[in-house]
């Protein structure tokens, strides 16, 4: 673990990547006294300057990643780059003695993920990884219901993310359909992180996948009407065996025009639980004991949370000397589950998940 912060001093954050998602993080950081942006860099200097201008205090614009991680006023790097660069940026930050918190996934493959974990361990530094949406009142209220025994013994869960595809709204959607993309790697981390908070780690998976269309058409922006190739499977379904014995059914798809499927449900021996979208921090949690659905009051989680809450929790964990919740170990297990499911679908057989993780501590109101 990294050295505890000096009491009263915020964690000074260098931002790498000034794309669209950075705005959501800046909105959260603006309301926190425990985090302070001090530097930003991006391949497009204009975007970095725009981010710096949004911040309340002085924020330096660094020319390169190397320049940013070398700064004395950066304690931690917020890694908002594209997935293919996540491990490279994390390793550079760790080598420079900086803690890291990044967007999902932790890395592009298992080898890179293991390298990040090893580098952090060797340096005594923290690495955190999105999604932190599972720390909000939605997933955490549901987790408390499970932990309090409201559903009885968990038997099964379902997790569905279905859409017709991001090309309908994204002006540059190609990366969603290249290696490292697809519905499982893009949206799976939200659902799998929630399932691990609810039911614990996964030990074995099986599944199937398909690619119904060889190309897609951009539906918005200046390139509307252009086509591009699909290089990954766009409909993935799987069964996950949790260490606790529960079975989760997962469907991740860019091939569904419309659906009325629930986002996540947990079914136990005594009741069923329905969760809100795990891509959001809050939302209604409903319980059904067999006599109709009742909405549970928010009873756990960070109220009013936004993207960056996981980094704030990492900062507080450093000061308190406790584990942070949106951990690299959890993110590495999520990545391993997704890659093992991909392998299982390709091989047509069940496969063991080689990694595991501790179930993160709950967020108590």
pLDDT in tens, 287-336: 999 999 999 999 999 999 999 999 999 999 999 999 999 999 999 999 99
Q: Sign (positive/negative) of CA torsion 150, 154, 155, 157?
A: positive
Q: Are the C-beta atoms of residues 233 and 209 closer than 8 Å to each other? A: yes
Mean model confidence pLDDT for the chain:
96
What is the model's pLDDT at position 180? 84
- Distance between CA 99 and CA 196 in Å, rounded? 24
Domain 134-300+332-352 bears CATH identifier 3.30.2310.20? no
What is the model's pLDDT at position 51? 97
- Distance between CA 211 and CA 176 in Å, rounded? 13
For residue 134, whether the previous peptide bond is cis, meaning omega lies within 30 degrees of 0, is: no
What would the pLDDT profile of 219-267 be if each residue is shown by its tens digit? 999 999 999 999 999 999 999 999 999 999 999 999 999 999 999 999 9
Question: Would you place residue 365 in the very low, low, confident or very high pLDDT band (cuts 50, 70, 90)?
Answer: confident
Q: Is the pLDDT assigned to residue 1 strictly greater than 50? A: no
Alpha helix (H) ranges present in 260-359? 309-320, 328-347
E strand or H helix at 15, and its extent? strand 11-16
What would the pLDDT profile of 182-223 be if each residue is shown by its tens digit? 999 999 999 999 999 999 999 999 999 999 999 999 999 999
Mean of the pLDDT values across residues 41-61?
Answer: 96
Q: Is the pLDDT assigned to residue 161 strictly greater than 60? A: yes
Look up the CATH superfamily of 11-129: NAD(P)-binding Rossmann-like Domain (3.40.50.720)
Sorted by where each begins, the domain ranges of the chain are 11-129, 134-300+332-352
What is the model's pLDDT at position 16? 98
What is the model's pLDDT at position 3? 45
Q: Are the C-beta atoms of residues 77 and 120 closer than 8 Å to each other? A: no
Tell me the pTM.
0.95
- Distance between CA 111 and CA 99 in Å, rounded? 20
High-pLDDT (> 90) share of the chain, %: 95
Q: Is the pLDDT assigned to residue 97 strictly greater than 70? A: yes
What is the model's pLDDT at position 336? 98
Q: Are the C-beta atoms of residues 146 and 140 closer than 8 Å to each other? A: no
**Burial group, residue 335, by CB count within 10 angstroms (0-12, 13-18, 19+):** buried
Q: Is the pLDDT assigned to residue 14 strictly greater than 80? A: yes
Domains 11-129 and 134-300+332-352 agree in fold = no
Question: Would you place residue 2 in the very low, low, confident or very high pLDDT band (cuts 50, 70, 90)?
Answer: very low
Question: Which of 19-23, 61-65, 127-131, 266-270 is the least confident region?
Answer: 19-23
Bridge partners, residue 100, by sequence: 77, 127
Contacts of 282 (CB under 8 A, 6+ apart): 136, 137, 138, 276, 298, 301, 303, 305
């Amino acid at each position: 673990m990294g050295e505890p912060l000096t009491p009263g001093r915020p964690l000074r954050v260098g931002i790498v990547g000034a794309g669209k998602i950075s705005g959501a993080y800046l909105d959260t950081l603006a309301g926190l006294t425990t985090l302070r942006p001090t530097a930003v860099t991006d391949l497009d200097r204009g975007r970095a300057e725009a981010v710096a201008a949004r911040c309340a205090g002085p924020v330096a614009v660094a020319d390169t990643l190397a320049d940013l991680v070398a700064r004395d006023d950066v304690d931690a790097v917020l890694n908002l780059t594209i997935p293919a660069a996540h491990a490279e940026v994390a390793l550079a930050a760790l080598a420079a003695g900086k803690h890291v918190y990044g967007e999902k996934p932790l890395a592009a493959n298992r080898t890179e993920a293991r390298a990040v974990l090893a580098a952090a361990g060797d340096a005594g530094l923290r690495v955190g990884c999105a999604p932190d949406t599972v720390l909000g009142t939605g997933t955490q209220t549901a987790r408390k219901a499970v932990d309090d025994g409201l559903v009885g013994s968990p038997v099964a869960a379902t997790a569905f993310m279905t859409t017709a595809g991001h090309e309908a709204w994204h002006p540059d959607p190609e990366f969603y359909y290249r290696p490292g993309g697809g519905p499982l790697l893009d949206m799976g981390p939200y659902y799998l992180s929630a399932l691990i908070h609810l039911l614990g780690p996964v030990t074995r998976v099986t599944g199937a996948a398909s690619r119904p269309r060889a190309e897609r058409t951009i539906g918005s922006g200046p390139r509307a009407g252009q086509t591009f190739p699909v290089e990954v499977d766009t409909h993935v379904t799987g069964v996950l065996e949790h260490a606790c014995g529960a079975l989760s059914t997962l469907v991740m798809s860019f091939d569904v025009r419309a659906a009325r499927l629930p986002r996540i449900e947990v079914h136990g021996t005594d009741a069923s639980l329905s969760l809100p979208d795990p891509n959001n921090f809050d939302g209604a949690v409903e319980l059904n004991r067999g006599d109709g659905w009742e909405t549970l009051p928010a009873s756990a989680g960070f109220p009013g949370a936004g993207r960056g809450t996981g980094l704030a929790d990492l900062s507080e964990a450093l000061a308190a000397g406790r584990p942070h919740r949106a951990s690299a170990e959890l993110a590495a297990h999520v990545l391993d589950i997704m890659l093992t499911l991909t392998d299982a679908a390709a091989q047509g057989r069940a496969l063991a998940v080689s990694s595991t993780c501790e179930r993160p501590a709950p967020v108590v109101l």
